[in-house]
Structure 1
Amino acid sequence: MKIAVIGAKGIPPKQGGIEHYCAEIYPRMVSQGHTVDLFARSSYTENFGWENYDFRGVRVISFPGLDYYYGLDALVTSAMGAIAATGQKYDIIHFHALGPALFTCIPRIANSSKIVVTCHGLDWQRAKWGSLSTRLIQLGEKASVRFSHGMMVVSKSLQTYFLQTYGKETVYIPTAPASYGYSDPNFHYGTNLGLEKGRYILFLGRLVPEKRPDLLVEAFSALNPRGWKLVLAGGVSDTKTFTSQLLEKIARQRNIVFAGELRGSRLWEIVRGAGLFVLPSDLEGLPLSMLEAMREGIPVVGSDIPPHQQLLGEERGTLFKAGNLDSCISVLDWALRYPEKLAPIAKKAQNHVNLNYSWDHITSEILQLYTQVLNSSEISSRLQPENNDMDLAKVGTKK
């Protein structure tokens, strides 16, 4: 198959779940004999516009953008990608995220390529978008429902949302944790940050309002657990006022460490050294950072939003009421007091992720979805998995 990919900023990944997702999926497709072109933003790839390069067999084509205005840059490069893809003879044009899906109408009307959309989350709910951008993303959501031949979602709650809101049948294929490599067993980088292995709480993610690092900071400060520190690891996004206020708040607190955006061995070392991973988000698709912590055997605490319930349910982690400070404090206090009770929970979570979340299986299921849309105009309910978090073998079969 000849495949075009639209909506990712670029690869190799620097930040962002979609970019890590594409970096895992598409080289695997290339290794199986498929051709993949990924349309990217020059502001992310640091290439000049119209240049292309190879990433593990994937041809990455950089478009010039408007990097002084983030939302417009994303829409402009997505539109350019849709137009460019329409002029080529692709079998599949795959749009990632709802904003880029605004332009699914272009190839759907202009050529015979099959259109696939992946919804990684309801992006119009994110605080970084202004009213115009929010409206455009909502239009992209409607366009994805109308013009796609097949639609994927990364969590069961998203599958329910599209069915209840639009009557749209979608295929649930989740993400998987990023592949970790070697990290320093002597914990030198963590020691340089003033950390003790197994004695810090880790928040890993962009410092944005919907991920609620501010709630975690407030809960940790109120609890002030003896001998523990809190580490905030993640990049600064487009909510600069929120971020600056948060960093100002923690600047004078010796037990809270802002590690910034970590990559490679430093990231792996800090994740593996954590005593507790906490994700207090109000909004997620299916969080890669939580999957990574679970896969590494780190005990996990999360807010009780549906994607976290899906991952941490059946005693694979501990949940607190989303947005509720008292609930967060209470759960953190329990987790830090009874580490012996967390160990079997973390082991159960680790086994669950290793068994159910594999990039090789996910790639296989996406290719199966591509084959289905090439042979039919719409994905039918025959493709819907039941009950299990990831019953990949049953996707595409009739119950």
Structure 2
Amino acid sequence: MPAAETSGSIAHSPASADRRVLRIAMIGQRGIPATFGGIEHHVAHLGRRLAARGHEVTVYCRNNYVLERPATVDGVRLRHLPTLGTKHFDALAHSLVSTMAALADGHDILHYHALGPGLFAPLPRYLSRARVVQTIHGRDDRRQKWGGAAKAVLRSARWLSERVPDAVIGVSREIADEYARLRAHPTVHIANGVERPVSAVSVAPVLERGLAPGRYVLFVGRLVPEKAIDLLIRAFRDVPGDMRLAIVGGSSYTDEYVQELHALAAGDPRVRMLGYLYGEDLASLYRHAAVYVQPSHLEGLPLALLEASSYGLPTIASSLGCHREVIEEEGPGGRLFREGDHEHLRDVLVRVLSSLDAERGSARTRAEDVLARYSWDVATDRTESLYRSLVAAPERR
């Protein structure tokens, strides 16, 4: 059966009237303040909204994520704990340390984010009275950057995620429905959100990077194989004209893949590799782009696609189910191409770039629809209601 849409029974359960202050632990994210990483932005948005409602929210941060280590951010308590800063052990080591610290801190809710960190969910599930929630942000066990041993560990994490948590949240309907077919415990769909962007953004960051407003195609994200940036570069090389391609992002323990991308980009002087950008610089790149492309082979529900849509950018995305959820009806302002087909992507790019005025007009209408459907306030309402329903439930046996 499909996963619960939490605007239904859970969001309006009697538990939602409970005003008890909850002690909530967030585990699995790198940390906040968020720089790169969709999970980090997700936790930052939820955490500050839950804290503003009076809950005691603690985010367990890796000590190698950001240089600054404030004690609190936006009312959220931060605990900076050590990790092993390697590709294979970074998330797992920190999640174990964070789980032990959270158990000692006596939280009502331990909320794990992503598959790998959930390997340690059995500890609070069976050794404490805390309720365990796990948000599945994507199919991490299928990511190309992992070798055989790492994928085996993540498949074990996947098996546990289907059985251990008191509740599982899927950020897309596709993920939530997949889990709902496998689990006896609650599984709900709570989508990511997006905020309305400011209308006036300086063009200086665009000009400083050798770009012209309205004359570049944009991609934003970690440079990892499943994002298929190589496919985008290959497709763009066959697009005629002087339009540029701006790629915003950097390595995530994927240095070899990033080197391959730089080699590909070197073959076309129109391609700009810009590294990670944040804040006003990133907002400027979004605001002044011509088109946004999400070429991924694998996704959960990409925040970058939501953000690009919120700016009223014409978007082009691969035909993954989660992308179809955002775009809904393929047409002007929201185009799809066959996943993995760089020739089809090239054709769609040429089509969109040749009729930008019509694409932009429809994209502005789509922006309002995306802002209405993907709200962090609604996501917080539904997450809080889920927490309360779990805390109000009878004691586990």
TM-score scaled to structure 1, two decimals?
A: 0.89
Q: Is the 8 A contact 1:99 1:137 kept in 2?
A: yes
- Amino acid of the structure 2 residue aligned with 1:65: T
Distance 1:169 1:150 in 2: 5
Q: Is the 8 A contact 1:98 1:140 kept in 2?
A: yes
Distance 2:388 2:186 in 1: 17
- The one of 155, 171, 174 equivalent to 1:154 is 171
Residue of structure 1 equivalent to 2:287 = 272
- Amino acid of the structure 1 residue aligned with 2:248: A
Distance 1:307 1:23 in 2: 22
Distance 2:66 2:234 in 1: 36
- Amino acid of the structure 1 residue aligned with 2:60: F
- The one of 334, 338, 341 equivalent to 1:324 is 341
**1:3-82 alignment runs, 5 A limit:** 3-46=24-67, 53-67=71-85, 69-82=86-99
**1:248-259 alignment runs, 5 A limit:** 248-259=263-274
1:212-263 Cα shifts (integer Å, max 9, x gaps) = 111111111012x213111111122212111101102212522111111111
Distance 2:289 2:271 in 1: 14
* Match status 1:193 vs 2:209: yes
1:190-232 Cα shifts (integer Å, max 9, x gaps) = 1222211111100111111111111111111012x21311111
Residue of structure 1 equivalent to 2:252 = 237
- Amino acid of the structure 1 residue aligned with 2:54: G
Distance 2:223 2:99 in 1: 31
Number of aligned residue pairs: 373
Distance 1:3 1:166 in 2: 23
Residue of structure 1 equivalent to 2:9 = none
Residue of structure 1 equivalent to 2:15 = none
* Match status 1:345 vs 2:362: yes
Q: Which has the higher contact order (CA 8 A, sep 6+)?
A: 2
Distance 1:62 1:202 in 2: 34
Shift of 1:166: 4.9
Over 3 Å counting, the alpha-carbon distance change for 1:94 and 1:262 in structure 2 is same
* Match status 1:335 vs 2:352: yes
Distance 1:222 1:137 in 2: 38
Structure 1 residues without counterparts, runs of 5 or longer: 379-399
3-state SS of paired residue (1:253): coil
3-state SS of paired residue (1:87): helix
- Amino acid of the structure 1 residue aligned with 2:310: R
3-state SS of paired residue (1:13): coil
Shift of 1:188: 1.9
TM-score scaled to structure 2, two decimals?
A: 0.89
**1:1-399 alignment runs, 5 A limit:** 1-46=22-67, 53-67=71-85, 69-166=86-183, 169-177=186-194, 180=197, 184-185=201-202, 187-223=203-239, 225-315=240-330, 317-376=334-393
Distance 1:271 1:101 in 2: 34
Distance 2:371 2:196 in 1: 12
